Structure 1
Amino acid sequence: MPPLAELIRVDRSSPIPLYFQVAERLEGLITSGELAAGARLDNEVSLARELGLSRPTMRQAIQHLVDKGLLVRKRGVGTQVVHSRVRRQVELTSLHDDLVRDHRRPRTEVLRLARVEAGEEVAAALQVPPGSLVWELERLRFADDEPLALLRNHLPVGLCPLGEETLSRSGLYEELRGAGVQLGAAEQSIGARRASAAEARLLGEGRGAPLLTMRRTAYDVQGRPVERGDHLYRPSLYSFECTLLAR
């Protein structure tokens, strides 16, 4: 990789603070993979000298990326790149598909796959009578061998065949598409709550740590509900993004 001085240019005439210009350039190198996870950066004094900046400016740029979860400072090791956060557009895609698209390595542990009686909330979402048999699926999804999300889904029985072996290799939406289900739309809400002890243990977080939540009901092109999802994500590694248009 070329020296950072060849990759990071700052515009001293710009109203954008120098530290933020440097942080943005470094973030671009990390998210593009040019600075890979585990890569070590020179110390702040060396980086400041290399880029022609003051040490406080360089320290502020590094701290900005530490706060965003892209860099980590380790005693005796220095500053290292960590896995970039998964940024997911708010659209009807699966997490597995998003990870593959972002060149991350998805891995899935199927924690539970069973037919259960639908409670009132799930029955209402799937438009089936309460007590009807539905699939209940719980999975732990990894990105590059790091736990990222805890996924719980309910589906109508008979919609498509489900098996632990296939679900550990592929995404749920991939299985639905393979069964001829054409996804058309979804209702989705995003929030946050604290992790339970069991959730924290599975996701590698501390008990009571904040988690992102996503609840989704997906429909096929005929408007029939095909899936209800209740998902938890680690906010240090995951974010939702959307584009807002003025009216």
Structure 2
Amino acid sequence: MRTGDGVPDPVAGLRLDRSSPVPLHRQVAQWLEAGIASGRLPPGTRLDNEVALADSLGLSRPTLRQAMRYLVDKGLIVRRRGAGTRVGQPLDLPAPVPDSSYDELRRAHQEPTTRVLSLTAGPADAATARTLAVPAGSAVLTVERLRAVDGAPIARLTNWLRVGLLDLDAGELEHTGLYATIRDAGIDLHAARQVIGARPATAAEAELLGTEPGGILLTMERTTYDQHGTPVEHGRHVYVAARWSFEMSLLTP
């Protein structure tokens, strides 16, 4: 759907869930973020008519402004005097998929071991459904793994994938990486978006990872996309900070 001036309607198809614990401004932001990642809202798309957007969704202008501010803070949209608000250029969009920890360890001539803690199918909660761009309640696979090197646990890995995307076997996942399994199924992991942080370990995490409660864990959330901009999987991982670090190559604009 396009607006009267030929610009794609950025909120076409969005149905706000006013009973959800997810704030309305975050629901709008997540919808727009998914549209940017998928290419539905390509770079340069104008988003400057906030009054019309708020009215079409039945929202107050401050609520809509919160959503836009969230996207500006993430670098997904840009505001420039005289040019209005637009979707950012490709430099601001998902980068090529980084290697998995399994691939990185093998490249460093180490032998990672993996224990599958669980592999289950069940309905997606609202946040996971939005991230994977599927209807709330859709069936998703959840796989939880413990990765170790030389007997020392380094990470607990949790991933969500749409049911039917590929067949996952717990035994296979203990001998190869998830990304390799996805690629072997003919799925192109074309781009990714990730957020890295840190927090203290809970008692349960400390016991699983062989560290102290309150010890520092590195956190990483990553969503991968195929060549069409469709989300493939979403991961939420924690790493023992004393046993893992993230290395990135950056290009200057």
Shared fold per TM-score greater than 0.5: yes
Cα deviation digits, residues 3-31 of structure 1 (max 9, x gap): xxxxxxxxxxxxxxxxxxxxxxxxxxxxx
Letter in 2 for 1:211: L
- TM-aligned CA deviation for residue 116 of structure 1: 1.3
In 1, the alpha carbon distance for the partners of 2:108 and 2:172 equals 22
RMSD across aligned positions (CA): 1.3
More strand by share: 1
1:136 paired residue number: 142
Letter in 1 for 2:125: G
Residue 239 (str. 1) matches residue 245 (str. 2): yes
SS at match of 2:245: strand
In 1, the alpha carbon distance for the partners of 2:135 and 2:199 equals 30
Cα deviation digits, residues 108-157 of structure 1 (max 9, x gap): 00001000110111101100011110000100001122101000000011
In 2, the alpha carbon distance for the partners of 1:116 and 1:91 equals 27
1:185 paired residue number: 191
In 2, the alpha carbon distance for the partners of 1:152 and 1:245 equals 29
In 1, the alpha carbon distance for the partners of 2:172 and 2:158 equals 16
2:106 paired residue number: 100
Mark the runs of 5 or more structure 2 residues left unpaired by the alignment: 1-95
Count residues with an aligned counterpart.
Answer: 158
- TM-aligned CA deviation for residue 194 of structure 1: 1.0
In 2, the alpha carbon distance for the partners of 1:245 and 1:134 equals 35
Letter in 2 for 1:159: L
SS at match of 1:240: coil
In 1, the alpha carbon distance for the partners of 2:129 and 2:187 equals 20
**Partners of 2:106 and 2:112 within 8 A in 1:** yes
In 2, the alpha carbon distance for the partners of 1:93 and 1:238 equals 14
Which of 160, 163, 167 does residue 161 from structure 1 map onto? 167
2:212 paired residue number: 206
TM-score (norm: length of structure 2): 0.60
**Partners of 1:105 and 1:145 within 8 A in 2:** no
Which of 117, 123, 137 does residue 117 from structure 1 map onto? 123
SS at match of 1:213: strand
Larger Rg: 1
Percent identical among aligned pairs is 48
**Partners of 1:107 and 1:142 within 8 A in 2:** yes
Matches within 5 A, 1:222-233: 222-233=228-239
In 2, the alpha carbon distance for the partners of 1:134 and 1:185 equals 21
Letter in 2 for 1:145: G
In 2, the alpha carbon distance for the partners of 1:104 and 1:195 equals 25
In 1, the alpha carbon distance for the partners of 2:192 and 2:250 equals 18
- TM-aligned CA deviation for residue 183 of structure 1: 0.6
SS at match of 1:113: strand
**Partners of 2:97 and 2:224 within 8 A in 1:** no
Letter in 1 for 2:190: G
